[in-house]
């Protein structure tokens, strides 16, 4: 693969270790301190990686924004003074990666490795899906709970497989941008995530969001959370809004696995959702938080979207269903039975239990929930699919 490596510095400082490292890998680096030459070096190739170091004549962030706007195909590695390093600002200005001026060799190696992988991905890009006709009736479902450990992510990944078995094209967006576990619950380590999409593909017509999703078992696409918690800083409310809107062009069902907290980003997710699946448990602390969550949604006119799910319910323990509905002033939409062993094994294996235990009580209950959330359009076609599903469980 022929990558065009370019180095620019308005301080007239030589590329030094960058050139040495690239030459050891049999790559050629061209360098300049003249802005006119920089334009000539980057305009001719769609496989260009630019190391950009500016501090004297130019503001490094402003120059990055200018280059990114004129040449959106260029992969920019921004070299900034240690005291100016700002990942969020760099991303907003169009940088693909950053390096501190006092970088270690390992940091340089990692930056170059990421650039090479991106260029390899670009070279293999399949443009055929970019012209796909938008889905007419896509549905966005936010899976939420104000309390951790309630089973939100477990339900998200299993609902996704259930919808896929109904013949739907399904995507799961991990809305927990710091500590998302959707990929872990599917036993995958994504090469690309929402972080890479924001850096490299966002706002560029020749990049599709589908190229940043990971296909997992069960015919489901996962739009994974960033690989590191601090990377969420570069992701904004508008990014999430546009991600959901673009995903609607390709998928029938988009599930958004929400975190326990509410931010502007997550309020936007709830606003864009057609339905909010709200999980709670039959215990006092969970019910109190759920009541507060519902009151919050009511103040912003979103309570009407809520489908209340009672998870791990055991009849005769704690409150009866009627009392729960009185406390929350909301009818229970669906009840999921307790099945600790199956769920625990599913999490440990990194495989949704719909794939391995569809006939279990919890499996049947989730399948039933998916049918309630997305009623079948074609009884004949879906009937055939159902017969096939139950054969899989044998």
Residue 379, pLDDT score: 42
- In the structure, what pLDDT confidence band is assigned to residue 247 with cuts at 50, 70 and 90? very high
Counting beta carbons within 10 angstroms of the beta carbon of residue 62, is it exposed (0 to 12), middle (13 to 18) or buried (19 or more)?
Answer: exposed
Question: Closest Cα partner for 180 from 238, 223, 145?
Answer: 223
pLDDT for the residue 124: 65
pLDDT digit string (tens) for 310-361? 998 877 787 888 999 999 999 999 999 888 899 999 899 889 999 888 889 9
Residue 64's pLDDT is what? 84
Strands (E), the chain: 4-9, 29-32, 48-53, 75-80, 97-100, 139-144, 170-174, 214-216, 220-223, 253-257, 275-281, 306-313, 332-337
Q: pTM, whole model, 2 decimals?
A: 0.67
The answer for residues whose C-beta is within 8 angstroms of residue 97's C-beta and 6 or more apart is 75, 76, 77, 78, 111, 114, 115, 199
For the chain, the domains span 4-124, 135-392
pLDDT of residue 1: 63
Residue 125's pLDDT band (cuts 50, 70, 90): low
What is the chain's mean pLDDT, rounded? 84
pLDDT for position 383: 43
- What is the structure's pLDDT at 219? 86
Task: Look at residue 205 in the predicted model and tell me its pLDDT.
Answer: 64
Instruction: Select from 3.90.1640.10, 3.40.50.300, 3.40.50.2000, 3.40.50.10490 the CATH code of 135-392.
Output: 3.40.50.300
Please tell me the distance from the alpha carbon of residue 285 to that of residue 134, in angstroms, as a whole number: 43
Alpha-carbon distances of 100 from 53, 62, 190, 287, 372, rounded to whole Å:
10, 17, 26, 48, 52
The candidate with the shortest Cα–Cα distance to 143, out of 274, 326, 39, 295, is 274
Assess whether the region 4-124 and the region 135-392 belong to the same CATH fold: yes
Q: Under CATH, which architecture does the 4-124 domain have? A: 3-Layer(aba) Sandwich (3.40)
pLDDT in tens, 39-60: 888 876 778 999 998 777 788 7
Q: Name the 3-class secondary structure at 322.
A: helix
């Amino acid at each position: 693969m022929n990558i065009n490596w370019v180095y620019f510095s308005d301080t007239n400082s030589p590329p030094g270790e960058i050139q040495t490292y690239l030459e050891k890998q049999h790559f050629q680096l061209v360098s300049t301190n003249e802005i006119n030459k920089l334009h000539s070096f980057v305009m001719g190739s769609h496989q260009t990686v630019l190391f950009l170091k500016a501090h004297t004549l130019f503001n490094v962030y402003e120059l990055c924004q200018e280059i990114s706007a004129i040449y959106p195909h260029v992969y920019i590695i921004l070299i900034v003074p240690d005291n100016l390093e700002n990942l969020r600002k760099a991303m907003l200005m169009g940088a693909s990666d950053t390096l501190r001026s006092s970088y270690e060799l390992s940091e340089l190696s990692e930056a170059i490795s990421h650039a090479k992988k991106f260029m390899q991905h670009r070279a293999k890009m399949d443009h055929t899906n970019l012209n796909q006709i938008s889905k007419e009736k896509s549905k966005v479902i936010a899976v939420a709970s104000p309390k951790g450990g309630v089973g939100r992510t477990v339900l998200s990944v299993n609902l996704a497989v259930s919808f896929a078995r109904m013949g739907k094209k399904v995507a799961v967006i991990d809305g927990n941008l710091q500590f998302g576990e959707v990929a872990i619950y599917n036993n995958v380590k994504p090469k690309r995530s929402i972080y890479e999409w924001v850096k490299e593909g966002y706002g560029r017509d020749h990049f599709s969001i589908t190229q940043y999703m990971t296909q997992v078992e069960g015919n489901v696409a996962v739009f994974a959370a960033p690989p590191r918690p601090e990377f969420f800083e570069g992701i904004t409310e508008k990014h999430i809004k546009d991600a959901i809107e673009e995903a609607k062009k390709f998928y029938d069902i988009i599930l958004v696995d929400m975190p326990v907290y509410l931010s502007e980003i997550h309020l936007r997710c709830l606003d864009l959702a057609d339905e909010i699946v709200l999980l709670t448990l039959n215990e006092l602390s969970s019910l109190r938080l759920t009541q507060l969550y519902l009151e919050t949604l009511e103040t912003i006119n979103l309570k009407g979207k809520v489908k209340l799910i009672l998870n791990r319910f055991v009849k005769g323990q704690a409150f009866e269903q009627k009392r729960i509905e009185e406390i929350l002033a909301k009818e229970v939409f669906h009840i999921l039975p307790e099945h600790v062993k199956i769920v625990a094994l599913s999490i440990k294996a990194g495989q949704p239990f719909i794939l391995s235990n569809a006939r279990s009580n919890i499996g049947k209950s989730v399948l039933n929930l998916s049918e309630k959330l997305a009623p079948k359009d074609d009884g004949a076609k879906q009937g055939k699919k159902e017969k096939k599903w139950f054969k899989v469980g044998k």
